[in-house]
C-alpha cells in the first residue's frame, strides 16, 4: 500500500509500578504502542517476536486495530519481559529488570511484501539490528528511529551510523544530552543533525517536544493532564502519532513535520492517561482531532497579538 508503515521492535509483557498502582504482565513493548497509535492514521505492518507464553488474544487485540500482524514470529521460549518503576514525577522509568527471552537472539526477517513499505519505524532495539533492517527494505520515503540510554552507552558508533542513514531521530531530552555529552539540548541536537538526519525530535515528557531541523526549531507543549496513570509507552505512542500523520499526508515536508509533532503529543497524552496500551487502543480519530484542536488553541495567541495598540508591535527589531 502506498502509505503503509513498517514497524520493527519489541512486543512485551510489562510489570509497571507507580506510587499509586502496580500491575503485572500487562501488554506492552515499543512496537505494540507504536502500532496501536499509528494505525489510527495509516495501515501498519508489525514485525516482532513473541514466545510461547504470549497470548493469542493479545495479538488479536493488535489485529483488531487493523494492524497487519503476519510479521509476528512465535518462537520457543519466553516473551520479552520488562519491569519498571516511576516516582511521583512520573517522568523517566527506573528499569528494575529486563528479561529479553526470545527477543535476545532475534534477527528480524522482513517479509517480502513488507519490504517496499514507504514509511519505516525502527523502534528501540540494538542499533546493529536497526542497520540490518535498513538493509532489507527498499528505498523507503521516510525512516525514523528511536533508541535508549543503554545503546548510547554501549553502542555509540553503531547508533551514530544508523542515525546517519535515517530521516528522523526521536530521543528524549536526557538521551540527547547523553549522546552529545553536553547539558545543552541545542548543542546535542546540532551534533545529531550533523550526522545527517533531516530532523531530530526531542521528547520532554510533561514539557512537550521539540522538532529540530537544519532550518530551525519548533517547540510544542505537552497536552496538560490532571491524571496520569502509566507513562510507559509515551515515547512510542508519540512516534506512532508522528509517523502515522506523516504517512497519512504522504509528503513529509517541514510544515507537515510540525503538525506531525502535535499529533505525536496528542497520542502520547492518551497513552499515559490509562494503564498499559489501553489509552491508545481505545483512541479514536475524533478524540485525537479534538485534542489536536485544543492543543492548537493553547498556543495560539490570536489576532490581538498584533493589535495596533500593542506597544511592542511597533518596536523595531535589532
Ligand atoms: P517508552 O516508555 O515509550 O520508552 O517504551 C516503553 C516500552 O518499551 C515498554 O513497553 C517496554 O516493554 C519496552 N522496552 C523497555 N526496554 C526495552 C529494550 N531494552 N528493548 C526494547 N524494548 C524495551
Dump pLDDT digits (tens) for 262-300: 999 999 999 999 999 999 999 999 999 999 999 999 988
Q: Higher confidence at residue 299 or residue 123?
A: 123
The confidence band for 180, taking pLDDT boundaries of 50, 70 and 90, is very high
Region 210-225: mean pLDDT is 96
Q: The dihedral of CA 295, 298, 300, 304: what is its sign? A: positive
Q: What is the reported pLDDT for 223? A: 96
Residue 54 has what DSSP assignment? S
Rounded Cα distance between 238 and 245, Å, is 11
In contact, 208 and 220? CB cutoff 8 Å: yes
User: How remote is the CA of residue 125 from the centroid of ligand 1, in Å?
Assistant: 9
Query: For ligand 1, atom 14, which residue shows the shortest CA distance?
Result: 29
- Strands 199-203 and 44-50 turn out to be unpaired
Is the distance from the beta carbon of residue 240 to the nearest atom of ligand 1 less than 6 Å? no
Q: Which of 223, 228, 217, 298 shows the shortest CA–CA distance to 258?
A: 217
Is residue 307 pLDDT above 90, yes or no?
no
Residue 60 has pLDDT above 90, yes or no: yes
Measured between alpha carbons, how far is 211 from 169 in angstroms, rounded to an integer? Answer: 10
pLDDT tier at 75, thresholds 50, 70, 90: very high
| 47 Cα–ligand 1 center, Å | 15
Confidence of residue 302 (pLDDT cuts 50, 70, 90): confident
pLDDT of residue 304: 58
Query: Is ligand 1 within 6 A of the CB of residue 146?
Result: no
Pairing of strands 22-28, 12-17: antiparallel
The model's pTM is 0.95
Q: Residue 301's pLDDT is what?
A: 80
Give residue 30 CA to ligand 1 midpoint distance, Å. Answer: 5
What pLDDT is attached to residue 143? 98
CA distance 274 to 28: 13
Burial 168-181 (b: 16+ CB within 10 A, else e): bbbbbbbbbbbbbe
Residue 305 above 60 pLDDT? no
- Does ligand 1 come within 6 angstroms of the Cβ of 127? no
CA dist., res. 274 & res. 301, Å (int): 31
CA of 310 to the centre of ligand 1 (A): 49
**Cβ of residue 98 lying under 6 Å from some atom of ligand 1:** yes
pLDDT value of residue 252: 82
pLDDT tens for each residue of 12-36: 999 999 999 999 999 999 999 999 9
In order of 14, 25, 122, 146, the CA distances from 81 in angstroms are 6, 8, 19, 19
pLDDT at 89: 87
Please tell me the distance between residue 129's alpha carbon and the centre of ligand 1 in angstroms: 16
Residue that is written with C-alpha cell 509497571 in the block: 16
**Phi then psi dihedrals of residue 12, to 5 deg:** -145, 165
Q: Is 238 in the pocket of ligand 1 (CB under 6 A)?
A: no
126-to-83, 102, 146, 280 alpha-carbon distances in Å: 19, 14, 10, 25
Task: Give the per-residue pLDDT at 266.
Answer: 98
What is the distance in angstroms between the CA of the first residue and the CA of the last residue of the chain?
Answer: 51
Residue 84 in contact with ligand 1 by CB distance below 6 A: no
Nearest in space to 58 (alpha carbons), one of 79, 37, 77, 42 = 79
**Burial class (CB within 10 angstroms; exposed 0-12, middle 13-18, buried 19+) of 301:** exposed
Amino acid at each position: 500500500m502506498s502509505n503503509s508503515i513498517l514497524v520493527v521492535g519489541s512486543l512485551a509483557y510489562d510489570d509497571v509500578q507507580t506510587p499509586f498502582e502496580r500491575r503485572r504482565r500487562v501488554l506492552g513493548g515499543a512496537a505494540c504502542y507504536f502500532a496501536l497509535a499509528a494505525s489510527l492514521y495509516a495501515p501498519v505492518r508489525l514485525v516482532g517476536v513473541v514466545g510461547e507464553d504470549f497470548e493469542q488474544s493479545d495479538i488479536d487485540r493488535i489485529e483488531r486495530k487493523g494492524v497487519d500482524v503476519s510479521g509476528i514470529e512465535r518462537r520457543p521460549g519466553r516473551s520479552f519481559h520488562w519491569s519498571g518503576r516511576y516516582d511521583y514525577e512520573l517522568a523517566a522509568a527506573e528499569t528494575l529488570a529486563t528479561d529479553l527471552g526470545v527477543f535476545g537472539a532475534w534477527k528480524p526477517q522482513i517479509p517480502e511484501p513488507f519490504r517496499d513499505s514507504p514509511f519505516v519505524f525502527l523502534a528501540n532495539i540494538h542499533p546493529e539490528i536497526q542497520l540490518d533492517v535498513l538493509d532489507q527494505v527498499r528505498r523507503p520515503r521516510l525512516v525514523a528511529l528511536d533508541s535508549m540510554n543503554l545503546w548510547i552507552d554501549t553502542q555509540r558508533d553503531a547508533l551514530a551510523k544508523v542515525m546517519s542513514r535515517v530521516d528522523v531521530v526521536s530521543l528524549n531530552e536526557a538521551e540527547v544530552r547523553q549522546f552529545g555529552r553536553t547539558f545543552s539540548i541545542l548543542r546535542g541536537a546540532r551534533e545529531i543533525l550533523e550526522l545527517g538526519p533531516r530532523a531530530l525530535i526531542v521528547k520532554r515528557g510533561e514539557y512537550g517536544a521539540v522538532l529540530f531541523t537544519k532550518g530551525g526549531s519548533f517547540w510544542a507543549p505537552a497536552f496538560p493532564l490532571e491524571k496520569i496513570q502509566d507513562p510507559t509507552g509515551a515515547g512510542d505512542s508519540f512516534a506512532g502519532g508522528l509517523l502515522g500523520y506523516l504517512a497519512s499526508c504522504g509528503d513529509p515536508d517541514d510544515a507537515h513535520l510540525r503538525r506531525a509533532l502535535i499529533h505525536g503529543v496528542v497520542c502520547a497524552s492518551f497513552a499515559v492517561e490509562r494503564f498499559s496500551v489501553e489509552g491508545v487502543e481505545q483512541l479514536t480519530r475524533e478524540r485525537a482531532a479534538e485534542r489536536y484542536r485544543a492543543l492548537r488553541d493553547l498556543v495560539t495567541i490570536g489576532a490581538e497579538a498584533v493589535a495596533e495598540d500593542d506597544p511592542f508591535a511597533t518596536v523595531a527589531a535589532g
